[in-house]
Chain A
Amino acid sequence: AQKITQTQPGMFVQEKEAVTLDCTYDTSDQSYGLFWYKQPSSGEMIFLIYQGSYDEQNATEGRYSLNFQKARKSANLVISASQLGDSAMYFCAMREVRSTGNQFYFGTGTSLTVIP
């Protein structure tokens, strides 16, 4: 089974609007971390946001927030007030503490295009 599933290969959003990128995960560990990365066309992976499985509040970093629904095993990324520079690939990733503590599992990514 896939550890991370991103079901939206491509998304479009109007500039200044908010957009949600979906991510579901599969783990039997109680302790794990969820991450989102941005990969522009230049290729470098840029860390955006982190959510620990025991964190009670949703993580926020500037215009990025992570909508963490533990029971549903989802960790959606919300980007508010989209900017043209947000156009990129976005990857959701997970790290399990116990079973595979040193491995990050990445999804297949969502390509976001911001329309002026």
Chain B
Amino acid sequence: DTGVSQDPRHKITKRGQNVTFRCDPISEHNRLYWYRQTLGQGPEFLTYFQNEAQLEKSRLLSDRFSAERPKGSFSTLEIQRTEQGDSAMYLCASSLSWAEQYFGPGTRLTVT
């Protein structure tokens, strides 16, 4: 088992462009989470999937953000019409139980 993986690790994009990030959870982990982390802050919850169902979305997740987990395995997070304020580290985590969470290495997004 290689842990949670995220792709790409770094993304630089121009304001107004769309970006998509991928997360591959630990195999057999049915729970998947997305977070955003800005410099000097802890991770902020964005959304949660149990299998393919998106069960919870934070108010932080504006209409420009969408996440999917079509087959209950990998997940994608898309940001449309990126803004400079979207620059952050986007973290994915997965788990099998309520009392744990294993994070991936993150995707660092820079919007110029």
Contacts and interface: CB of A to CB of B under 8 A. Distances in A.
A47 B102 contact: yes
A108 interface: yes
A52 B40 CA distance: 27
A103 B58 CA distance: 9
A102 B55 contact: yes
B96 to A, nearest CB: 13
B42 to A, nearest CB: 3
Interface residues of B, number: 25
Interface in A53-109: 91, 93, 95, 97, 101-109
Interface in B1-51: 33, 35, 40-45, 48
A25 interface: no
Contacts of A35: 101
Given A44-B103, A44-B104, A44-B106, A106 B48 contact: no
A102 B43 contact: no
Contacts of A104: 33, 35, 43, 45, 101
Contact of B99 (A37, A42, A50, A106): A50
Contacts of B100: 47, 50
Contact of A91 (B42, B98, B102, B108): B42
B58 A43 contact: no
Interface of A: 4, 33, 35, 37, 42-47, 50, 52, 91, 93, 95, 97, 101-109
Interface of B: 33, 35, 40-45, 48, 55-56, 58, 89, 91, 93, 98-106, 108
- 10 tightest CB-CB pairs across the interface, nearest first? A106-B42, A45-B103, A102-B48, A102-B56, A103-B45, A44-B105, A91-B42, A106-B43, A50-B99, A43-B106
